[in-house]
Amino acid sequence: MALLELTALEIAHRGTSLVDGVSFALEPGTITALVGESGSGKTLTARALAGVLPKGLESKWERLTVDSQSVATARDLAPLRGRVIAAMPQDATSALDPVMRIGQQVDEVSAHVAKVAQPERGARRDKLLAEVGFAEPATIARQFPHQLSGGMRQRALLAVTLAAEPKVLLADEPTTALDAHLRGAVLELLRDLVSRRRLALLFITHDLAAAEQLADQLVVLYAGRLCERGPAKEHFREPRHPYTRALQQARLDRPTPVPLRGALPSVGDRAVGCRFAPRCDRASTACGRQPPLVDGVACHHPGGR
C-alpha cells in the first residue's frame, strides 16, 4: 500500500493556476524522481504536500492520503508534518541553525516532534548521526554547522530530518551544491536509508543523471502539468512524451547534448491545451486540447525516440 497517494493537485495564486492536475503515489522502500525544468512546479508540489506553501498560494486536491490517513485540506497536514511526512530543503547551510550545535538540533527534533524522553536522546542522537555516515558521531554532535564541509552539512541535515522518524521524505535538490564525488555519496546514502527504513522518498531534481541512478519511479512536470509518469527504467530507456525525450537529449552527460529550443512559458503565457506544444516538433491542431494521461503519458502524439 502506498504511503502517499495524491490525485489532481492544484495550486493557484489569486485564481491563476500554477500547478494543475498532478497525481502520483509514493510506495514504501522506493524513490520517485520529480523532474522538469526550473519553474515546472516541482518545489511547489513538494511544499503543498508538506503544507508549507508561501503566503498567498492555495492548494487543493481531489484526494490525498498519507499513511492511510485521508487529508482533506492543507491545514490537516500540520499534525503530520515532521512526524509522518518531512521535507528536506536543498540548502543545508540555511536550513541548519548556525548558533546551535548539530547534536542540539537533532535532540530538539527528537524532543519536540518525536517526543523522545531526555535520558534516551543522547544514544538516539549518536545512532542517527552514525546512520547518515559519520564515523565519530559524538564529535560531530559538538560541532556547529560552519565547522562542517558541504557534504557533512547535508548529512547532518538528513539526521535532523530523520530524528522525527518520518515515513515520507521530500528531498528538494539535495545534491545541488555538492561536487561530483559528494553528490554520489549522498545519493548512495539516500538509497540505503530508503531501503533500510522503508521510506517513501520524493526526490526533486533537474539532474536526470541523478534521477536515472536513483529512482524507481519517474514523474515529469512541464509548466505545472503532468507529462509522463511510470517506472523510471522504462521511461529513461524509451521516453514517450516529447518533453521527456527533449530533456534526455539535453543531458550534459551525453556525448552531444541537444539544448531544448524555446523556453518555459511564464504563467500568463501558457498555451491553451498542451502547454509543451509551442516547443514540440510533433505539435498538431489536436494539441489545442489538453491530452489526458493514458498509459503513463499525456500526449496526443506519444512515441519512442
- Residue 228 has a CB neighbour count (10 Å cut-off) of 25
| Amino acid at residue number 129 | L
d(CA 304, CA 131): 41
pTM of the entire structure? 0.94
Share of residues in the chain with pLDDT > 90 (%): 87
> Between 52 and 178, where is the model more confident?
52
The pLDDT assigned to 108 comes to 96
Close Cβ partners of 195 (under 8 Å, ≥ 6 residues apart):
29
Structure confidence at residue 1 as a pLDDT band (50, 70, 90): confident
d(CA 35, CA 45): 11
- Residue 269 has a CB neighbour count (10 Å cut-off) of 11
Average pLDDT, the chain: 94
Q: Positive or negative CA dihedral for 242, 266, 59, 30?
A: positive
pLDDT in tens, 223-240: 999 999 999 999 999 999
Does the pLDDT of residue 268 top 90, yes or no?
no
* SS3 label, residue 194: helix
d(CA 251, CA 238): 15
The pLDDT assigned to 185 comes to 87
Does the pLDDT of residue 305 top 70, yes or no?
no
| Amino acid at residue number 17 | S
d(CA 174, CA 170): 10
* SS3 label, residue 113: coil
* SS3 label, residue 10: strand
The pLDDT assigned to 6 comes to 98
- Residue 6 has a CB neighbour count (10 Å cut-off) of 22
Of the candidates 107, 244, 114, the one whose C-alpha atom is nearest the C-alpha of residue 167 is 114
Structure confidence at residue 176 as a pLDDT band (50, 70, 90): confident
pLDDT in tens, 118-152: 999 999 999 999 999 999 999 999 999 999 998 89
d(CA 269, CA 275): 9
Q: β-pairing, 69-70 with 168-172? A: unpaired
Does the pLDDT of residue 304 top 70, yes or no?
no
